[in-house]
Amino acid sequence: MADPLLEAKDLVKHYGSVEALRGASFTAFEGEVVSLIGDNGAGKSTLVKCLSGVERADSGTFTFGGREVDVDSPIAARALGIETVFQDLAVAPDLDPAANLYLGRELRKPGLLGLLGVLDKKEMRKRAIASFEDLGVTLQSIDVPIGSLSGGQRQSVAVARSVVWASKLVFMDEPTAALGVVQRERVLDVIRRVRDQGMAVVLISHNMPEVLAVSDRVEVLRLGRRVAKFRAADTTVEELVGAMTGALSQEDAG
């Protein structure tokens, strides 16, 4: 197999006296969906936060695209082509879907007006509609605050935002939680489409059938450490659960 796109080794992260990560490692390759699973408190969200620049690991190494990198802010992660869908969504409920899609990356009008910071709302709206269409996101209205949309549609916009801007890797922390069956399928379709474009997708999920359905590989985190790695095609739900609970472990996984 080729060199990994992302390789994190021996990450440690303390919150006060709580040790959320105790030498966790993680690997992701281009053009694959890799699921990160683990019981509550295993450190999945903390690991994603460290890798996406929201938090900073106390120690450990982070290699991306063959170079050791220091991702100390979400902006640094974005500069590397990494985007994240957070579990708590992190959208601005009072802004409309287009504004949320372009939040922090607003298009400005050409010329003097643009230099004054004037937004090109029309262009953003047009491109947002095109992006939502590309990704199969259907919204009943594009001109309402995102807070007035259903939970699933809000989630779709959050997913679309990260996918539209990512060029290398997308972290998705529970992107299908709180979704209905149809919308869940749609998000999984988006994940596959993104993978087929050659990007890496890191999926965090509690839903084992979903993990097996969409992933190429699965890595298991337990008590802040990687305890197992599987090829999705060669494993079963029982095996994954065994690894999560500690009933089963692989010596070489850490």
Partner 1 sequence: MTTPRRKPLLKRLAGTNTLWIALVLLLLIAVFGALRPDAVLTVFTLQTTLVETAVLLVLAVGMTFVIITSGIDLSVGSVLVFSGVTSAMTMNALSGGDATNAGWGVVVVGLLVALVSGAAWGILNGVLIAKAKIPPLIVTLGSFGAALGAGQLISNGSNVSGVPNVLSNNLGTGTTFGVPNLVILAAVITAAGALLLGTTRFGRHTYAIGSNEEAARRVGIAVTRHLMTVYLLAGVLAGLAGFMAMAYFRVASITGHDTDNLNAIAGVVLGGTSLFGGAGSIVGTIFGVFIPAVLRKGFVIVGVNVYWQPIAVAIVLVAAVWFDQSRRKARDQR
- Tell me which residues touch partner 1 (CB under 8 A): 54, 73-75, 78, 84, 86, 88-95, 99, 103-106, 108, 116-119, 121, 129, 133, 138-143, 145, 147-151
Q: Based on CB atoms, which residue is closest to partner 1, 25 or 162?
A: 162
- What is the DSSP secondary structure assignment for residue 108, as one 8-state letter? B
Contacting residues for 190 by C-beta, under 8 A, at least 6 apart: 135, 136, 159, 160, 163
Q: Which is nearer to partner 1, 18 or 115 (CB)?
A: 115
d(CA 99, CA 121): 8
Across the beta sheet with 18-28, what order do the strands follow? 18-28, 6-15, 59-64, 67-68
Choice between 189 and 238, CB closer to partner 1: 189
Closer Cβ to partner 1, 63 or 150, answer by number = 150
Q: How many CA atoms lie within 13 A of 3 on its CB side?
A: 7
- Nearest distance, CB of residue 97 and partner 1, angstroms: 10
User: Least CB distance from residue 194 to partner 1, whole Å?
Assistant: 19
Q: How far is the CB of 112 from partner 1 (least distance, A)?
A: 13
User: What whole-number distance in Å separates Cα of residue 62 and Cα of residue 60?
Assistant: 7
CB of 13 to partner 1, least distance (A): 18
Nearest CB to partner 1, comparing residues 116 and 182: 116
Q: Are 173 and 84 in contact (CB under 8 A)?
A: yes
Shortest gap between Cβ of 189 and partner 1 (angstroms)?
Answer: 15
Task: Produce one character per residue of 28-59: b if its CB has 16 or more CB atoms within 10 Å, e if not.
Answer: bbbebbbbbbbbeebbbbbbbbbbbbbbebee
